[in-house]
Chains A and B, each alone.
Chain A
């Protein structure tokens, strides 16, 4: 236990980054997007999963970037990669079923892990247009597991997302729009779905049978009751297994001294 950092030594971004890194196992094939997920996956590569295969959807495959890329199309992604090509390869690899894990984000998430990155409000008359889907629905459709990293606010943890950009455990069957379990809809291409949500309040997982999100661990200082109050849906807190493990001193060293010394994605905590 003594290897864990004390509360004043790390910030929320460090905690999220380490929790995200621990979702990957060695030798897995992983898709990561721009931002905190990049640091998380490179942290896993430096610690417990040195043989993970990292894919950036812009075209760099099995990457070992020597310096933190600032986006997935960055020239830094190519250095040390097994293959530098393009999106036809990365998404074909994903559809073919090679990908174990994907890191994603979103503006809104619902009880079933459906995520919205497209717009706020009615799609036909939006209040705000966001970036759009990007590869979010693709990675979520193709990977065996996906991990969402989210800011936890009540307006973001909703009963129904304004627009279902990325498929969770219960989804709409078109053209009619009936709600079905994703295993019914995906047929032979069903491989899994969202496995964890790491928010700024806690870590959440899904019951694969009913497709419902439940609270797994609370971040230090948060209680299950507080977190339940931060969700518009009725969050199951009965399976809460305690507190999210804090970063270790070794993990903090890799984040701040090796991977992101310039604080591009992860700010440093000021020493008291």
Chain B
């Protein structure tokens, strides 16, 4: 629940965006994020983002599913309610493999979707706000986070010199809260300051 201040620039060409990302990082600015209408290969690498841990989480969910299935079926069919299926032993592992597999997939899939939503701060009924709505259409929007040391005017002109358009200072909610970006009024307390 923290409204932060950002310097935002709009790029309309990948070929301009990549060198800009590199220079902004070298100049020491903190890139909050780059918003793009489609996934751009290599951008995460250029921004210096670490690899996602989503797959590790998926592995753990999968293992959890496997253990749940095997342990529950084992308990149910060998301890709690023994049934004779065609003379097979009570502990008939081959027959349980399909269910174990399904539960592994189910746990991994559902767990990963929920984790992904959490990481991206998405939830039903929460509407996301954009720095610039053209980032869902045809331009790439870069947001620099302002710290107490940041000189906004300098940052603005620096972004402009790198080829950014529609440069502005903006305030946004950065955290994860149960509200609606389009209904919440807090961010309108301070107006975005357009430069031109």
Q: Do A and B bind each other?
A: no
Q: Which residues of A contact B (CB under 8 A)?
A: none
Q: Which residues of B contact A (CB under 8 A)?
A: none
